[in-house]
Amino acid sequence: MSQLTVADALRAGTQLLAQSGIEGAARDARLLMAHVLQIEAGRMTLHVQDALADEANTDFLALVAERAKRRPLAHLTGLRQFYGRGFEVSADVLDPRGDTETLVAAALAEPFARVLDLGTGSGCIVLSLLAERAGAQGVGADLSPAALAVAKRNAERLGLGARVGFVLSSWFEAVEGGYDLIVSNPPYIAADEMAGLQAELGYEPRMALTDEADGLSAYREIAANAAGFLSAGGRLMLEIGATQAVAVAAMLEANGFEAVEVVQDLDGRDRVVWGRKAHQMA
């Protein structure tokens, strides 16, 4: 019997994923194999003709089976690339989406010294911002102790532990101090929309996805209280669902924010609403 090669296993894994309806089946198979072999995915072509040990093949097929059940790829590899860096993720945090990089890029358009990230999850937003702005300091707040543990590990792994703090808090409840930038990607999916979402989201923390109401509860809370934690001229920047720009922009304006703008993502969808705290607010 000929020895099983990496290429043989990749073909089998790709077929299983494709039969399960996974888009990008070949890509996911390569990423799972790279994880099993502990190599960079970009170097896979150098190893496809290598013999694959039985144990490695068993591990690979087990991961493929989990991915076929729609378990998020990042939960299986434990890592998600976001804004050029690798972040640990787990079932305790929202799997960072590329769309959220729009929020990071918009926040980096102006200088800032102190940033607050509400609902920080894995910490990908605040840590990306601090990694891009040497000298800046930040705080990540989250209601989940498990999520904060993941965020802290990400901070240490990225060498940012000395510039960021994490606090267990429901939005501003336990937050102290002032900031010149507040960012958030809050739960914005309405409760009645949850059943129609892709299966992968069933493996993510529900509290990070929906407010169990109309999808706008978090924005009301943040918009009503953010000014008290912002310096004059400071920015409040919020990721939104594609249909929420008008409602969220109106909330910011109703709470005294100026120069409210909507930023679109790379697919042309409304993705970020932001406004600036007036120098004198009523």
Q: Note whether 115 and 126 are within 8 A (CB).
A: yes
pLDDT given for residue 247 in this prediction: 97
CATH of region 92-277:
3.40.50.150
Q: Which of 246, 264, 238 is nearest to 171 (CA)?
A: 238
Spacing of C-alpha 9 from chain mean position: 31
Start and end residues for every CATH 1.10.8 domain found in the chain: 6-69
Arithmetic mean of pLDDT, 253-268 = 96
pLDDT given for residue 271 in this prediction: 97
Arithmetic mean of pLDDT, 185-214 = 83
- Give the DSSP H or E segment for 235: strand 230-239
pLDDT given for residue 1 in this prediction: 44
| Per CATH, domain 6-69 is 1.10.8 | yes
**pLDDT tens for each residue of 44-99:** 899 999 999 999 999 999 999 999 999 999 999 989 999 999 999 999 999 999 99
Start and end residues for every CATH 3.40.50.150 domain found in the chain: 92-277
Q: Note whether 64 and 57 are within 8 A (CB).
A: no
Reply yes or no on whether the pLDDT at 35 is more than 90. Answer: yes
> What's the DSSP call for residue 98?
G
- Give the DSSP H or E segment for 124: helix 124-132
Arithmetic mean of pLDDT, 178-192 = 93
Give percent of the chain with pLDDT exceeding 90. 83
